[in-house]
Amino acid sequence: MTKTFEPEKLKQFAKTVFEQYGFNANDSGTIASSLVDADMRGIASHGMQRLGMYVRKLNHGDILPDRHGTILKETASSVLIDGEHGMGQLIASQATHLAITKAFQTGISVVSVRNSNHFGAAGYYVRQISRAGLIGISMTNTNPLTVPTHAKDAFLGSNPIAFGMPTETDDFVFDAATSTVSFGKFEVLMQRHQAVPGDWAIDETGAVTHDPGKLVANMQHPKRLGGVLPLGGLDETNAGYKGYGLTLLVEILTGVLAQGPLSVDMGSGQRGISHFFLALDPKLFGEPLAIQTRLSDLLNRLRALPPLTDAQPVLVPGDPEIASYRRHQTAGISLEDETITVLNTIANSLHLDAQQFEF
C-alpha cells in the first residue's frame, strides 16, 4: 500500500530531521531537497526511502554533521577535497559549486573528493552544472556491490555516471549505475514485495537470484556474498565485460584519483566514498546557444524515430524523469507503507509530531 504526500511536506520533514542532528537550516534544506527531488523524478531508491539510512549513519557516527570539506590541493582548474566524513550531499554541493566557478574562469575544471558519504542521485549535481550553462559529469564509488566478470563476489561499487548538458528546453541529463541496477532498487522491490524482474544479481553459489531480500542480506554479510551484475550481465555473451570496464573506470576516477578507499575496502557504513566532478564551458568550442540548438535537434530527431509499437514511443535519457517530475508537482509523491513506518519511527525518536507531516 502507498500514501501520497505533498512534496513540500516531505521536504519540511526531512529538513526538520537534519536540523535535529545539528545541521543548520540551509544545509538541512539542501539535503532535504536532494531527497525529494529524487522522488519527484521517479528515483525512489534515492528519495525519502533513503532517510532511514542517513539517520542510522548519523547515529552510528559514520556521518559527522559538523564536518565540511577541506581543500587539500588547488589549482586554477582543479581541486582536491577531503570530505572528513561529512554529509555527502553537502560535500558534493560544495564540489559542484567549485567546479562551476572554476569552469567559468578557465573553461574546464575537475574536482576530486575523498572521505565523503553517499551523496544521493548523481544526476542532481550535473543538473546544477547544466543550469549554469555548462556541461557536467559526476561520478561516485560506493560500497562493494558489483561482481566483476568471471568473479564470484562483489568487489566494485554500483559506481554511477551522470552527464548533463543544456538544451533549448529541459536540460539533458543521463544518470545511471554501471551495475545492472543500484542497491536501492532491491530495497524498493522488497518494500513492494516484488521479485527481481531480470537477471540482475547472483547469490553466494554464483546462481542468478530473483529474491531481492537474498541480495540485500548477502550484501550485509561481512564477506559480501554474491552481488549485482555489471551492465551486460553474467558473462561475455552479452558484453558484461563492458559494464565491468565502465564500473572500473568510475572506480579509477573516484577512489584511485582522490586517493580514498576503494569500494572493496570501505566499511559497512559506506564511509570514505570518493566523488568526481567535471564542468566544461561549451563556449570553448563555439557559440553556446548554437550548441544547445544542435543538441536539441539531435534529441528531437531521436524522439521522432518510428517506434516498434505505437504504445512505446522513442525516448531519450532523462525523458521519464522529466515526465515524472511534472506529474508529481500536481499529483504528489507516493511512499510505500514500509517507508512511512520508518519516517514515523524517526519522528518518534526525535520527539517530532508525525501528524504535523501527515504520516
- In order of their start, the domains of the chain are 2-284+336-347 (3.30.1370.60)
Q: What single-letter amino acid sits at 208?
A: V
pLDDT value of position 284: 98
The per-residue pLDDT for 118 is 96
pLDDT recorded at residue 358: 77
CA-nearest of 154, 170, 174, 146 to 162 is 174
C-alpha grid cell, residue 62: 559514520
Laid out side by side, the sheet with 201-202 consists of 208-209, 201-202, 227-228
C-alpha cell read off for 268: 559497512
- Which three cell numbers mark 150? 568471471
| pLDDT score of 155 | 97
DSSP structure class, residue 196: -
Q: Where are the alpha helices (DSSP H) in the chain?
A: 7-20, 25-40, 51-60, 88-106, 123-131, 183-191, 212-220, 240-251, 257-258, 288-303, 319-331, 337-349
Return all residues near 151 (Cβ < 8 A) that are at least 6 apart: none
Report residues of the chain scoring pLDDT below 50: none
Specify the DSSP class assigned to residue 65: T
Q: In what order do the strands lie in the sheet with 70-74?
A: 70-74, 78-82, 108-116, 273-280, 135-140, 161-165, 172-176
Tens of pLDDT, residue by residue over 332-356, are: 999 999 999 999 999 999 999 878 8
Residue 267: predicted pLDDT: 66
Which cell numbers in the block locate residue 15? 529538513
CA-based nearest residue to 81, from 258, 254, 231, 239? 258
Report residue 137: phi and psi, to 5°. -135, 135
- Strand 108-116 and strand 78-82: the pairing is parallel
